[in-house]
Structure 1
């Protein structure tokens, strides 16, 4: 975090806007996607004048014209006028007045920032390029690797800052999970032992739930199907390099666990969790026993759909032909159980004996026949669709025709939803309508219903994302009607619902195709910094280019006061986790944003979009705002993957590289980085630098934008600060990947090494004597010099008794008149920077 803030302050506003701590005083009020923009995408910065909430004391009215400037030389590349949002009204959800600055015409690759010449306001820097999100996608997918249960997270696959041995392999844990005994959860029956190993931690705790897993599985499978070119085999997980896209390798880890959750009769166990909350870090130290819940209809529905969808996708790979058959068999067994137990739907699991989440598949979490029935029947349509696509069996086609129009929100009510569980069926319906052999009449109804649901009037249906985008309903260009627990997942789902217009040929007017694309961009940009917090809602993303990402979140591994607590004080959490986001219904008392205890910073009094703060405290229910979850993560990854061009094209995005920071360097000196070798590209890649120079293959240093090839070495150089203990940061960008090289000057040292003067004895009385000469060493700044009872001279100059200064390497000599008395000693004391030396003269008898 500190390095990124140094970058921002040093490169863009100079030392004048640093606080005494050397960090940026306030986030900018000109918000941009901090990772950047694709050249042909919409690019709209949001300018805010806060009226309510934690930043209400700040005021900003933009000038009449704004500029886009290059980071490297501050050159102006685009100018335009901001447009006021909604006639200058204050938005109720954000508490802000706003303006939009559209610079979509700028498509030239490079690093830029937006500057207001009238007010000197500016944005964080950003990149325009074809691969600006590649590293972001890898980080977001690698978050699933860090969530693996029963797996080592060790180098080279894990960053050594987050290395941890396999978790939950102790007695009565995942390889020996026992059935819950509601009367006494601590006592178990060994006869009920099951191997339920594998899978992912569901969220910020270490538990595993079938009904939360299926949505994540579907979203990642769709992400692969909808843009397979985005997915490489180089995500640095243990399976990388096996010729299979790593998104599928990661999915297999979860699917293997899901298969273990299936009973021989086809039903699926509901969940496997600890008997108490795992307040333990790191995960490998957790010894709390684990229990599994009984099978439920909802979990069986979830398993049927996930198995069938995965069998279809994995079946396209010859290496997975047998695995696909296993998944298909599991899906069929689950459906057969549902057909044999129709009265079991909906299930109303009572969570007996557990303290962990019930995780029943019910609308709004209400445990009753109506709300659970709505969710579970809709998810059964989802499962039937994927089983029909996989097998073509008539029984599934019949079920779809009989239930799609009555059991899904889209068809029965004509509405879209951004609720994570409910969105599964609306995605499946579009997927069905795109399949060869789908019922033509039903497919037409699905597309028509989807088109209508995108564009309802606000008075009829507030969440109708295409209409709200065209109306400009949200100043931050990513409208939600409510900011619920997990609102960042809702943003991701909303963005994907607009992308679906392009993906599945929804019959909107031609002009609305571009509106849908721009609207989808808006939701992604919101998550990347175009929000009232000017924050990337992903953890610890400085290495991927974010100037201000989530520093702390609710996760038991990365808990308060651990070495992973906060990126400002420790390693911080692992990169790439999407946090839940603003939650307008969070209402715990006495929590203050940034610890500022006044009414403006009271978290529960914030407008909906500002009811967010990055902190980790279970007693204050921070998990309702800052906790990540696999279903949030997968929804975001699916949206993000649409903007990644993928390995099928020229690959100009290099493998990870880094420069070693240098601490304790000399002042105003030329400081060169370690050389690094560029790998992982198959085409010439752009290279640029801000705040320094670079050279390729040992050539001449330059600050001009250039190109670099695979196998080239690059080295960065800059001039260190003229001040002590001060950082200078250079940012090198290669193919959209940004890396910092930082030097910090030495600490001021004006205390010299010890020195001494030789004593003189048996000398004549009343005579002037000179000392031996000493050389001052061990200082890097001028040091004060003063003398008591005598004189000194520096470098052979004139003698003086006045206080002065001396530099490293100077010579100093003393003189003094001996006593007029026999056998008498006179002492002269020289002090340099707090170190003293005595020159003694003793007369003869």
Structure 2
């Protein structure tokens, strides 16, 4: 990113934050037949919806409020124009406050953002050159990391085998199996839940998996790499990650020439490998049966290893200072059993899952990520049409899914900015907020309820501007998006604007988010958060 413009951009950011008293809304727009709302954190009584094309007032109404929320320390008034359903370009005008940013009302209001956010995975690819055009800029990354990787830490000092491919994990250039687990799990769910729409999605990516729809082509690029993380000795063990020993500076991936290694295995990574490969076998089979069988065979090898080695094996960083992703393995083993059963119908996998699910008390988490993927297991079981399920276990899980979604709806309705995670904040919480759309959409598949869809749309609204900052959290999209993500490409290239379509992590409180490159705990990007963003958006695309 060019340095002479940093001060100007910083000042613009300050000015924008000072204008946070304006009209906060989803600047992407609104679905024609969907909910449409905005928040005004200053006293107002009425509003007008104005056509951008004609200047005519096409709808008007009264605001409601005030509603006070402690974590943002604001009184806000609500604007609701859901009853207006005519496609077009508009803005809101609130007497005594001003006018909002322009937005559109359309059935495809989220399509461009969905494509841009999904295409961001292609721009993350490791082991090949990538190119992208966006907003007049050409983004390019030369081919990188063709020496992946050395086997010194798995007992073969000085030897090297193929570990190329996959996605860079986050703002750094490492590749991590555990984080790939929740990321691919959520993206495979997107395909499963919204396949008719996604089959039509054109990502304008290289044809690296001929015959596959674009969406699945991108998932296969990561799956190809995951397959390489299984130990070549046939044991079924899976390396925890593939990285250099410590993080690089802000350089392009093609300039990152430090030695990179397969690390020692962990039981969580091995179990996540099983979950990924079982899903890949299921969803890739219609397009490449031989590849699907390869994935399934690999899943069985690792699953049998886990069955023979029930003790947890955590990854120990040792010489490594890159991302740890250390975690217990009970939820990962639960997920492995669920996916392998869903793919094969194997009764031993079903029994394994049901025993473990009972130990989890069939709980559904509202706050979940790479360190707890039990929701993936519960959802796969609940939605599977396979026979043989324990009726009491299935009923308990479905009951908990509905109760969890109802609680998220209640929190979203109570939060002035439609944030279903409520007042909980931490490193990467924006990813969790986006991932809660999975909870809501799964519940809607089990027991359709318009409140679940409304809460999920509210989450999209929140991410793209209906928030305390009146800013989008996604680079290149929406109002005043992040300009300084913790992303080595964005910091190292010569382009002012960051690489587009990436969700940043967010604040550790309701009001402390900072758009600063050096603040990885506020402004990093990562595949697990990105997958959640994609899922949130593709649930509402229209072709």
Give the TM-score normalised by structure 1.
0.60
Aligned with 1:109 (options 87, 93, 97): 87
Output aligned runs, 1:4-403, within 5 Å.
26=19, 29-48=22-41, 60-62=42-44, 64-86=45-67, 89=68, 91-117=69-95, 119-154=96-131, 161-169=138-146, 173-174=147-148, 176-180=149-153, 189-191=157-159, 193-231=160-198, 232=200, 234-239=202-207, 242-263=210-231, 264-317=234-287, 320-343=288-311, 345=312, 347-361=313-327, 372=328, 376-403=329-356
**The residue matched to 2:414 in structure 1 has which SS?**
coil
Alpha-carbon distance between aligned partners in 1 of 2:284 and 2:209, rounded to the nearest angstrom: 17
Query: 2:7 aligns to what?
Result: none
**The residue matched to 1:30 in structure 2 has which SS?**
coil
Pairwise CA distance, 1:23:
9.5
Structure 1: gaps (5+ residues): 1-18, 49-59, 183-187, 362-371, 456-463, 507-512, 565-569, 584-607, 647-845
**Larger Rg over CA atoms:** 1
Query: 1:6 aligns to what?
Result: none
Q: Which has the higher strand share?
A: 1
Q: Deviations over 1:86-121 (max 9, x none)?
A: 3xx3x122222111111000110001111013x151
Pairwise CA distance, 1:61:
1.5
Alpha-carbon distance between aligned partners in 2 of 1:110 and 1:244, rounded to the nearest angstrom: 35
**The residue matched to 2:249 in structure 1 has which SS?**
coil
**The residue matched to 1:145 in structure 2 has which SS?**
helix
Query: 1:615 aligns to what?
Result: 516
- Residues 25, 563 of structure 1: alpha-carbon distance in 2 compared, 3 angstrom cutoff: farther
The yes-or-no answer on 1:433 pairing with 2:382 is yes
**The residue matched to 1:101 in structure 2 has which SS?**
strand
Query: 1:419 aligns to what?
Result: 368
Alpha-carbon distance between aligned partners in 2 of 1:155 and 1:110, rounded to the nearest angstrom: 29
- Residues 23, 443 of structure 1: alpha-carbon distance in 2 compared, 3 angstrom cutoff: closer
Structure 2: gaps (5+ residues): 1-11
Query: 1:563 aligns to what?
Result: 494
Structure 1 stretches of 4+ with a deviation exceeding 6 A read 22-25, 155-160
- Residues 279, 116 of structure 1: alpha-carbon distance in 2 compared, 3 angstrom cutoff: same
Pairwise CA distance, 1:450:
2.0
**The residue matched to 1:79 in structure 2 has which SS?**
strand
Pairwise CA distance, 1:242:
4.4
Pairwise CA distance, 1:423:
5.6
The yes-or-no answer on 1:476 pairing with 2:417 is yes
Pairwise CA distance, 1:499:
2.0
The yes-or-no answer on 1:548 pairing with 2:530 is no
Report if the CA contact (8 A) 1:84-1:99 is conserved: yes
The yes-or-no answer on 1:635 pairing with 2:532 is yes
The yes-or-no answer on 1:532 pairing with 2:468 is yes
Output aligned runs, 1:575-586, within 5 Å.
575-583=500-508
Query: 1:495 aligns to what?
Result: 437
Q: Deviations over 1:509-563 (max 9, x none)?
A: xxxx12222111111110011001111111022xxxx232112210112127x52
Pairwise CA distance, 1:280:
4.1
For these two proteins, the number of residue pairs brought into alignment is: 525
Alpha-carbon distance between aligned partners in 1 of 2:487 and 2:283, rounded to the nearest angstrom: 32
Alpha-carbon distance between aligned partners in 1 of 2:193 and 2:293, rounded to the nearest angstrom: 23
Report if the CA contact (8 A) 1:94-1:532 is conserved: yes
Report if the CA contact (8 A) 1:157-1:236 is conserved: no
Alpha-carbon distance between aligned partners in 2 of 1:143 and 1:61, rounded to the nearest angstrom: 40
Q: Deviations over 1:396-443 (max 9, x none)?
A: 111122111213xxx35x452322135632233133122221332221
Query: 1:598 aligns to what?
Result: none
